[in-house]
Amino acid sequence: QWFLSALIFAELIWVGIWTSLAAHTDVARYQIYPALESTYFPDKAGARVFTYFGVFYLIAGFTALFSLAVGISLPKPTASMVRKYRLPCSGEYWTVLEICTLAAFMALQVATIVTRIELKFKPTWSADKVWYEVTKTLGKTAALTLPLLFLPVSKSCFWLDLFNIHFERAIKFHRLLAWFLVLVVVVHAASAFTSLILSGQFQACMWPTLIGCDVSRYKKSEEVSRIITYGWISALIALPMVITSLP
């Protein structure tokens, strides 16, 4: 049991750290893809994120499924780790383990943002360029959160079985991740609007069309138009879910 715990913990740490590196640095581009001898995945951050979530399922998921199949479960936590506390500004009670999980998740998000700022941002950038890169950073943060959003609501998810988490308790994580994702997306959109306004391209680039949109110093206009289209589609899909989830 303890070996299984150590193995899964090591796998989660490894995949989590490398997912962040793949999303915000050039590690995947220059190290991972050549090692895999694959040119299929495009040289885009979104592809790097979901590539690593594929690795996440293949490695950590195989360990979990094998353990469940042979009847090996994780050791039971001590009473102090499952003691419940009511968090400030929250109407729900959380155990120490749940709080530690949330803290680890938030630390990973902060680490990815700080890493990108340190490695990518340059002091010579103009204000609109800085806001543009802020938009990209928050977009990748949302991409890292999105796959995790649906794990707690999967009743047949092996993670819930392995960690002995009841579906009702897992819903708490789903709600918290969902509102965190909404917050990130709102700030992501606001920073995008700010960048377009500062560059004088808001009216031309706000709609999914190539007419008059000129942000070639950042990306090709065709790619910007496509990304804006994806953003509007995501907003149309998410808006009904957000409205129906309000208290």
For the stretch 206-226, pLDDT in tens is 665 554 555 555 555 556 666
Q: Using the CB atoms, write b or e for 200-220: b if 16+ within 10 Å.
A: ebeebbeebeeeebebeebee
* Two structure tokens written together for 164: 């002995």
pLDDT score of 188 more than 80: yes
Report yes or no on 147 lying in a domain.
yes
Q: Is residue 154 part of a domain?
A: yes
Q: Does residue 206 sit within a domain? A: no
Say how far apart CA 155 and CA 174 lie, in whole Å. 12
Residue 132 burial class via C-beta count within 10 angstroms: exposed 0-12, middle 13-18, buried 19 and up: buried
CB atoms within 10 A of CB 242: 15
How far apart are alpha carbons 109 and 15 in whole angstroms? Answer: 14
Q: Answer yes or no: is 221 within a domain.
A: no
* 236 inside domain: no
Amino acid 32: pLDDT: 52
pTM above 0.85, yes or no: no
Give the separation between CA 228 and CA 206, rounded to whole angstroms: 7
157-171, 176-190, 217-231: which range is least confident on average? 217-231
**Domains held by the chain: number:** 1
Long-range contacts of 121-125 (CB under 8 A, 24+ apart): none
Q: Is residue 247 part of a domain?
A: no
* Domain containing residue 88: 2-199
